[in-house]
Amino acid sequence: MSGAGEGEAEDISTVDNYQRLQIAPNPDGTITRLAKFPESPPTSDPKLPTPVLSKDIPINESKNTWVRIYLPRHALDHSSSKLPLVVFYHGGGFILFSAASTIFHDYCVGFATDVPVIIASVEYRLAPEHRLPAAYEDATEALHWIKTTPDDWLRDHADLSNTFLMGISAGGNIAYHAALHADVDRLHPLKIHGLILQQPFFSGTQRSGSELRLANNPAFPLSSSDLMWDLSLPIGASRDHEYCNPTVGDGCKKLDRMAVGRRVLVTGWDGDPLIDGQIEVAKMLEENGVHVVCHFAEGGYHGVDIIDASKGEALFVVVKNFIFSQTAS
């Protein structure tokens, strides 16, 4: 999710990807994030004219993790009818952005309005300062925090027994691994009914057809993707590590413990270099007894659902059907 654009471009393989991602490596293994992405504050005052209220609550102050909760305004007037809860993990290749980033804040406001749902958008630790599995640990810690928090918005308006894990790009990867690592018994009364993987960030050492075809895609060139994995995976791990490539090794053997009610929605665009990998993960899930709903569309690019409001609104319809069809079943 480093930019916008679609289709092929001139060869950009010689571009410095640190510069492209607007980061600078430091001798101690950390990075300096040179870009200052706009951030939006939460809006919790019901007197303000906003369709969705939001507020930030700490999860683990020692890790500086927190959650931004989004509550559709109309829920305040219908306290007897609780809404599904979506636990959302933002994108950014594990190294960029925040739950407060305007691009994700605005997306969550639109999502909570159109679907409608209550959203808990999780602020997790970033790599390379905190390499994987740190983000997965924060993701599952957030679930346990949600089930025990005395927060009145979640207590009074969220149906914890009807929870969905959702993420875009790296956030989709985090949602997938959170579902694998979550302890179902310890989460009660929170019950995960489904998993929503929006253009999930997966790869491998063997290049897929779409990675080769779109290696120089201006929205998300393969070299930038590789750098993000280099900065995020455990030191010395290859892209065939289970965090990056769930289709190799023992990945499929771990699906038995997936805490998502065995239902997964996978979305993508054929202008995204990652689409073939996303399709392979969907096939692996289906072959192992998971009910998979695929929504792969023509055109687009990596991150288009966030950047292009019309594409995002169209996806909200798909997600709404998935969430409420599971609710009814």
Region 287-312: mean pLDDT is 93
Per residue in 62-71, pLDDT tens? 999 999 999 9
Catalytic residue among 2, 177, 241, 272: 272
Query: Confidence band (pLDDT; 50, 70, 90) for 10?
Result: very low
State the total domains in the chain.
1
| pLDDT (0 to 100) of residue 250 | 64
In this structure, what CATH number is given to the domain that contains residue 137? Answer: 3.40.50.1820
Least confident stretch, 7-11, 15-19, 32-36, 121-125: 7-11
Per residue in 12-70, pLDDT tens? 556 789 999 999 999 999 999 999 999 999 999 988 889 999 999 999 999 999 999 99
Q: What is the mean pLDDT of the chain?
A: 91
310, part of any domain: yes
| pLDDT (0 to 100) of residue 2 | 40
15, part of any domain: no
| pLDDT (0 to 100) of residue 328 | 46
54, part of any domain: yes
206, part of any domain: yes
Question: Is 272 noted as a catalytic residue in this protein?
Answer: yes
Question: Is 177 noted as a catalytic residue in this protein?
Answer: no
pTM: predicted TM-score of the whole model, two decimal places: 0.93
223, part of any domain: yes
**Domain hosting residue 208, numbered range:** 37-324
| pLDDT (0 to 100) of residue 184 | 82
What are the Cα distances from residue 77, in Å, to 113, 120, 151, 156?
15, 20, 18, 11
Least confident stretch, 75-79, 99-103, 250-254, 311-315: 250-254
122, part of any domain: yes
| pLDDT (0 to 100) of residue 288 | 86
29, part of any domain: no
Query: Confidence band (pLDDT; 50, 70, 90) for 144?
Result: very high
31, part of any domain: no
pLDDT at 269 over 50: yes
Question: Is 308 noted as a catalytic residue in this protein?
Answer: no
pLDDT at 327 over 70: no
Region 193-213: mean pLDDT is 96
Per residue in 106-120, pLDDT tens? 999 999 999 999 999
Q: How far is CA 254 from the centre of its chain?
A: 20
Region 217-230: mean pLDDT is 95
Catalytic residue among 169, 203, 208, 224: 169
Catalytic residue among 159, 276, 302, 305: 302
pLDDT at 318 over 80: yes
Higher pLDDT, 4 or 201: 201
Task: Please name every residue paired with 290 in a beta bridge, in sequence order, or none if there are none.
Answer: none
Query: Confidence band (pLDDT; 50, 70, 90) for 3?
Result: very low
